[in-house]
Amino acid sequence: MTVARLLPAYLVQRYQGWRATTFAENRPWYRRLATEGQRPRAMVISCCDSRVHVTSIFGAEQGEFFIHRNIANLVPPFEQDGARHGTSAAIEYAVEALHVAHIIVLGHSNCGGVQGCYAMCSGRAPELEAETSFVGRWMDLLRPGFDRLPEGDEAMRARALEHEAVITSLDNLMTFPFIARAVAAGDLGLHGIWHDIAEGSLLQFDPDTRTFGPV
């Protein structure tokens, strides 16, 4: 038996409001989007965190960003093992089918996934160590980043691990042969940014200094 319930009333109300205003006022544009297909210029890989609002930060319209979200905006390395790689599938489609010009990895402050990884790597989260923990096994991707953290106070190290999540993803992106090819040909640019939710600020990764600086 398939289990599902009807939408809660507050969502139905919001949908009806959108359809009567935004959609009704831009009907030809939506029709064009449907018939012409999508041609997004950029792929964004961001965290699932509900506070990360990438289309709002960049003022992006429908059709502009091909967005993939997962816990802690992580890209796994290139692995052809027949497993169900949702993130790798999204990346393959963006690059090979949509030919996006940019892939933007967007990290953020106060990331629960990264905090979980920090706790796990510090031996304070045995539940994440369990083989059955999807979050724990996913966050294993960031263990090498934890090992690279500088000495210092915990708040600084936790923030540095959020930056490491972005760097890990940038490095793993380059293990995909079709990405390395597109980057070498000048058809694709990789970008790493980190968003401070409280400050509304964006930092970007500078590959020369391997540090994050203001946008």
Burial class (CB in 10 A: 0-12, 13-18, 19+), 139: buried
CB 29 → Zn ion: shortest distance, Å?
32
CB 112 → Zn ion: shortest distance, Å?
6
How many chain residues touch Zn ion (CB under 5 A)? Answer: 4
- Binder of Zn ion out of 47, 104, 161, 170 (CB under 5 A): 47
Nearer to Zn ion, 42 or 47 (CB): 47
Nearer to Zn ion, 98 or 197 (CB): 197
Q: Candidates 40-48, 96-104, 120-128, 129-137 — which segment interacts with Zn ion by CB under 5 A?
A: 40-48
Q: Candidates 23-31, 96-104, 105-113, 201-209 — which segment interacts with Zn ion by CB under 5 A?
A: 105-113
Nearer to Zn ion, 47 or 90 (CB): 47
Q: Tell me if 49 contacts Zn ion by CB under 5 A.
A: yes
Q: Are 124 and 130 in contact (CB under 8 A)?
A: no
Distance of CA 123 to the CA centre of its chain: 26
Q: Tell me if 54 contacts Zn ion by CB under 5 A.
A: no
CB 47 → Zn ion: shortest distance, Å?
3
C-alpha to C-alpha distance for 56 and 16, rounded to whole angstroms: 22
CB 72 → Zn ion: shortest distance, Å?
5
Long-range residue pairs from 136-141, CB within 8 A, at least 24 positions apart, any chain: 138/70, 138/71, 138/72, 138/74, 138/113, 139/71, 139/72, 139/74, 139/113, 141/74, 141/76, 141/168, 141/172
CB 186 → Zn ion: shortest distance, Å?
32
Distances (CA, A) of 160 to 13, 81, 91, 147, 192: 42, 31, 25, 11, 14
CB 195 → Zn ion: shortest distance, Å?
10
Nearest to 138 by CA among 73, 89, 50: 73
Nearer to Zn ion, 47 or 203 (CB): 47
- Binder of Zn ion out of 91, 106, 111, 128 (CB under 5 A): 111
Q: Are 145 and 165 in contact (CB under 8 A)?
A: yes
Q: Tell me if 45 contacts Zn ion by CB under 5 A.
A: no
Residue ranges in 73-102 that form contacts with Zn ion under rule CB under 5 A: none
**Residues engaged in binding Zn ion (CB under 5 A):** 47, 49, 111, 113
